[in-house]
Amino acid sequence: MHTILSKETLAPDVVRFWIDAPPIARKRRPGQFVIIRISEQGERIPLTIADADPAAGTISLVVQGVGKSTKALNRMMPGEQILDVAGPLGQPTHIVPGMSICCIGGGIGTAVVYPIAAGVKAAGGTVTGIIGARTSDLIILSKELSAVADPCLITTDDGSVGRKGLVTDALKHLLDTGFAFDEVVAVGPLPMMRAVCDVTRPLGLKTVVSLNAIMVDGTGMCGGCRVSVNGEQKFVCVDGPEFDGHQVDFGELAARLRAYRDDEALALEQYTQRASV
Amino acid sequence: MAKKIGQKTKTPMPTEDAAVRRHTFGEVALGYSAELAIQEAARCIECKNMPCIAGCPVEIDIPGFVRQVAAGDFDGAYHTLSLKNVLPAVCGRVCPQEDQCEQKCTLGVRFEPVAIGRLERFVADYAAAKSITNGAGVHPPTGRKVAIVGSGPAGLTAAADLAKLGHSVTMFEALHKPGGVLMYGIPEFRLPKSIVEREIDSLKRLGVDIRTNHVIGRTFTIDDLFNELGFEALFIGTGAGLPHFPKIPGINLVGIYSANEYLTRSNLMKAYRFPEHDTPIVRGKSVAVIGGGNTAMDSIRTALRLGAEHAYLVYRRSRDEMPARAEEVEHAQEEGVDIVLLAAPVALLGDDRSRVRTLRCVRMQLGEPDQSGRRSPVPIDGSEFDLDVDTVVFAVGQGANPLIRSTTPDLPTNKWGYIVADPDTGVTQKPGVFAGGDIVTGGATVISAMGAGRRAARAIDSYLTLIAKEQS
């Protein structure tokens, strides 16, 4: 049982929680995630650890309410308990001290990229940041990322804040104006990660992506989160969640992410009806 | 002096009708009544040699509890049983008694053996119905701390034995519910989860502290358990837990599962009750399960209960080589499973949404025996055939989950990743670390894991006694 200590809305349907989880807070390294369950009937879902305070024994989760589980979670209040939280899971980000990276966050992906940026900065590296979203309301964690990434560019599809355009436009601009990086770290919707990889592949610029496969146990025993990377089978929960983006079969992952689309819609519909009563 | 031989065949077990049960998750075997139990227990001829005891991996006093059942002393029978078995309701349901105690039964030499498994289940269920708790005495506290990693059958048995010896036992479980394969692997209709929970409660009453959502290797490493948390010995019973997928085209199409995922969704996460429970599962109309062991049987019978109209079990060898319990295969056939023998998958094909639609197989013939002694299947060229399916479950064995191995560099494992441990004591090459069950042997049975837990507990107790002496 893990108490919710604080709750903050970062954007429509996007909530940041700080929760009590001392062993996880102490052990956690950038790039890792937890698997949580909010009720006895609930499903197990993975969420990136966006931040942690080892001294206070707390971790931060940024949740986008998409389906029933995340929407129900986002309605929980400080003082309430999350039933199950297991972690930290996954391979930590491979950080080379002093490395220079370009961190690109698309939508909720910024919450995944932020801890990586913070980790690289803490290891003496340099971070250039790009945050992208459809519109200004959906830009999150720009203050936090700017504190560790300089410069930190913002792009919106509609130009309501920052540069009008896609994150790939901003990346190309940086590369054209002479920025050089050891690697690019890109996290966001699959089409966005794929698009970034398409830009960097011909340049031979290493690009790390963080994948959000559907998971059940999160410890490598079920194979539900399997992906193809360079034709080999990998499990996102124990081999990832970060992989070489140039080698990932994004199309296959996209199809697997749609496996329960009808069931998810049904669950959400029933939840919405009950919640509105 | 042995008794006279009476009834020569086992008292039949009341069983749920196949047409009914293939659609429900209720238990198939309904259990003996008191009268049937006494009738069956009376068959024991009380032979002098008692070979049944040697056939039991946890050394239950079988003639003892059977005699008590025959006399109607069910409370006494439960006491005798629980002295040696912390999970009698589990074993009575899932042990392959036909390969163990019943295989050794003296009566079974000429006639059918005493139905020891059915009697064990009867006694355990009787005790639960009457809320009798395990009254076995507990030694005074020793003050020594032991960690058990993994709450499956091996860990549960080691934990119970060590707690009874007075040690302070903490159990760490990665999932949100304890029980390991008893919870996530074996279906509700073979082993009700309420029964598993009840058996585990008896452990908590012994003082065992069970911490779920603790992934050892991640939340704490093995060294953290010693150095940070002050444990003096630990037992690793983390199970096999690494699914095998064949390298064939289409293996990642939607609707293709490892048996671990399929069963975990259904059993642990109760996907069979979606949307009342949130975890979904593909409810295929035409399901193929690849494999011939108990896990394959559990998978295919689960598929039927999830609404499959066609159920294929595809196995690469012949019926005689199938490792599954005969009783499970019979139940499956009664429920309408189509057993496709001497066939193996070569490809999976899907539709335009990447959902599996076809399982392409090749016919096999049996060649020379391999290391297990079973004849090796060899594909017959040009014999490919297709099965129309929308769900495929691979139950073709498991490897060693790498989480502990990769985070404990000084704990030797063999070339397949299993922990190297002495089979009689569970001693590993890392001081203070013991191991048993599937993480040592590869996929085996609940009861053999329990036996390993028992043997390791004995060795850990000796080890802790030694530490105590050295410190005094």
User: Could you say which of A24, A83, A270 has the minimum Cβ distance to residue B219?
Assistant: A24
Q: Which residues in chain B are closer than 8 Å to A255, comparing Cβ atoms?
A: 253-254, 353-354
pLDDT for residue B326: 87
B176–A264 C-beta distance less than 8 A: no
Q: Pick the residue from chain B with its C-alpha nearest to A92.
A: B218
Q: Which residues in chain A are closer than 8 Å to B353, comparing Cβ atoms?
A: 255, 258
pTM: 0.93
pLDDT for residue B33: 93
Binned at pLDDT 50, 70 and 90, residue B134 comes out as low
The pLDDT of B398-418, averaged and rounded, is 92
User: Could you say which of B219, B242, B270 has the minimum Cβ distance to residue A23?
Assistant: B219
The three-state secondary structure class of A235 is strand
Put simply, whether B280 touches A (Cβ < 8 Å) is yes
Contacts of A70 (CB under 8 A, 6+ apart): A45, A63, A64
The pLDDT of B340-355, averaged and rounded, is 97
Put simply, whether B252 touches A (Cβ < 8 Å) is yes
pLDDT for residue A202: 97
3-state SS of B244-310 is CCCCCCCCCCECEEEHHHHHHHHHHCCHHHCCCCCCCCCCCCEEEEECCCHHHHHHHHHHHHCCCCE
Q: How far is CA B242 from CA A37, A71, A238, B275, B296, in A?
A: 23, 32, 11, 28, 16
pLDDT for residue B309: 95
Two structure tokens written together for B235:
């037992």
pLDDT for residue B173: 98
The three-state secondary structure class of B187 is coil
Tens digit of each residue's pLDDT (9 = 90 or more) over B264-308: 999 999 999 999 999 999 999 999 999 999 999 999 999 999 999
Give the closest residue to B472 by CA, choosing from B464, B232, B166: B464
| B61 Cα to chain A: minimum distance (Å) | 36
Q: Which residues in chain A are closer than 8 Å to B269, comparing Cβ atoms?
A: 43-44, 216
pLDDT for residue B16: 82
B254–A43 C-beta distance less than 8 A: no
Whether this model's ipTM surpasses 0.90 comes out as: yes
| Region for B241 from its dihedrals, namely left if φ exceeds 0, alpha if ψ lies in -120 to 50, beta otherwise | left
Contacts of A111 (CB under 8 A, 6+ apart): A16, A48, A50, A62, A105, A140, A141
Tens digit of each residue's pLDDT (9 = 90 or more) over A146-175: 999 999 999 999 999 999 999 999 999 999
Residue B279, judged by CB atoms within 10 A of its CB (0-12, 13-18, 19+), counts as: buried
The pLDDT of B107-127, averaged and rounded, is 93
Q: Which residues in chain B are closer than 8 Å to A43, comparing Cβ atoms?
A: 269, 277-280
Where is average pLDDT lowest: A160-174, B236-250, B366-380?
Answer: B366-380
The three-state secondary structure class of B336 is coil
Residue B96 pLDDT exceeds 70: yes
Q: Name the DSSP class of A16.
A: E
Q: Are B343 and B364 in contact (CB under 8 A)?
A: yes
Binned at pLDDT 50, 70 and 90, residue B91 comes out as confident
Q: Which residue's entry shows tokens 């319990």?
A: B325
| A53 Cα to chain B: minimum distance (Å) | 15
The three-state secondary structure class of A134 is coil
A44–B252 C-beta distance less than 8 A: no
Q: Which residues in chain B are closer than 8 Å to A217, comparing Cβ atoms?
A: 174-175, 264
pLDDT for residue B135: 56
| A6 Cα to chain B: minimum distance (Å) | 22
Two structure tokens written together for B238:
């983390």
Tens digit of each residue's pLDDT (9 = 90 or more) over A186-222: 999 999 999 999 999 999 999 999 999 999 999 999 9
The pLDDT of B238-267, averaged and rounded, is 96
Q: What is the dihedral of CA A227, A229, A231, A233, to 10 degrees?
A: -40
Put simply, whether B366 touches A (Cβ < 8 Å) is no
pLDDT for residue A228: 97
Residue B1 pLDDT exceeds 70: no
Put simply, whether A246 touches B (Cβ < 8 Å) is no
Two structure tokens written together for A177:
């104006």
Two structure tokens written together for A206:
């290493």
Note down pLDDT in tens along chain A; length 277 residues: 999 999 999 999 999 999 999 999 999 999 999 999 999 999 999 999 999 999 999 999 999 999 999 999 999 999 999 999 999 999 999 999 999 999 999 999 999 999 999 999 999 999 999 999 999 999 999 999 999 999 999 999 999 999 999 999 999 999 999 999 999 999 999 999 999 999 999 999 999 999 999 999 999 999 999 999 999 999 999 999 999 999 999 999 999 999 999 999 999 999 999 877 6
How much is the CA Rg of chain B, to the nearest whole Å? 23
pLDDT for residue A276: 76
Cα A226-A62-B271 angle, rounded to 5 deg: 45
What's the mean per-residue pLDDT of chain B? 93
| A252 Cα to chain B: minimum distance (Å) | 8
User: Could you say which of B215, B252, B258 has the minimum Cβ distance to residue A219?
Assistant: B215
The three-state secondary structure class of A261 is helix
Structure-model confidence comparison of residues B89 and A133, the more confident one: A133
